[in-house]
Amino acid sequence: MTTTDLADVTASDAALRRFLHGLPGVDAVGLQARAAALGTRSIKTSAKAYAIDLAISMIDLTTLEGADTPGKVRALAAKAARPDPTDPAVPRVAAVCVYSDMVATAKAALAASGASGTSGGAGIRVASVATAFPAGRAARSVKLADTAEAVAAGADEVDMVIDRGAFLSGRYMTVFEEIAAVRQACAGRAHLKVILENGELATYDNIRRASWLAMLAGADFIKTSTGKVAVNATHANTLLMLQAVRDFRAATGRQVGVKPAGGIRTSKDAIRYLVLVNETAGADWLAPEWFRFGASSLLNDLLMQRHKLRTGAYAGPDYVTVD
């Protein structure tokens, strides 16, 4: 798919609709069976140790609660920089994800620890949810102001939510234009992650269409969910999104990342997702630049399993912090 082809696809609402509805239909039974089969793969101890460290390095350590305080965000940033203070070999996480009003606090805390990064450089990024997260029910001007505030505060990444109401109503161009406008509001200073909220899209066909729509509009990452609805990341819907980014790169030459979020709590589950990545999109996506976990409690289990592999015994209940 050339630049001209992309322009043709997005030239009008009708052209965009034809393209999205022309994508191959999803075999739901086959998709779920494939996800289940990959989930049974076992890996050797040495590979497990590598996978645990890789998963730690892919975490967007997240707090998105109304009760968030500067102190909680500073503590989260400290944990992101040194997940296990007793073991400097434990890798840092990829990012700290907060609301926009906490971006400056997170940025300052990471800078003080020497762990601050940028959207294109080393170190821990600060990601901010935006666009009236999690529901996205606000005027576009409000969503763009929300994004601009996060970027001005120093966000390296912005996690936006699509307008699911517009998408489910078939107003695809409205969704496309909003994503493109948010990308422009990132002003080249922040990477854009587009949250599809798969649990509200109802069908696998819709998830495939929303994935392609977000990528066509310029998403750097596509993300499964907000973590605020009943159905968040699943192996099947993440597998479908991995297929989408693989096929999009084959068609356009542009690589897009994937971020499952919500409900991923154990090392065993995280490793299953890494198997999905390797077997579906390929090894090119097995890096924090291209795959992330949106999580809060996952890091604790990864640290405990890492300690078990290293020492042969599980740590006591005080080994990890209570988030």
| DSSP letter (8 states) at residue 26 | P
159 classed as catalytic: yes
Select which of 84, 143, 223, 301 is catalytic. 223
Select which of 159, 220, 269, 301 is catalytic. 159
Residue 92 CB: number of other CB atoms within 10 A?
Answer: 21
3-state DSSP assignment of residue 68 = coil
Residue type (1 letter), 185: A
CA atoms within 13 A on the CB side of 284: 12
223 classed as catalytic: yes
Stated as kind and residue range, the H or E segment containing 59 is strand 59-62
The CA-atom distances, in angstroms, between 53 and each of 29, 92, 249 are: 33, 9, 27
CA atoms within 13 A on the CB side of 166: 23
Select which of 156, 163, 259, 269 is catalytic. 259
Residue 43 CB: number of other CB atoms within 10 A?
Answer: 13
Q: CA-CA distance, 148 to 144, in Å (whole number)?
A: 6
3-state DSSP assignment of residue 21 = helix
Residue 124 · residue 155 · CB < 8 Å: no
Q: CA-CA distance, 63 to 101, in Å (whole number)?
A: 12
259 classed as catalytic: yes
**Catalytic residue set:** 159, 223, 259
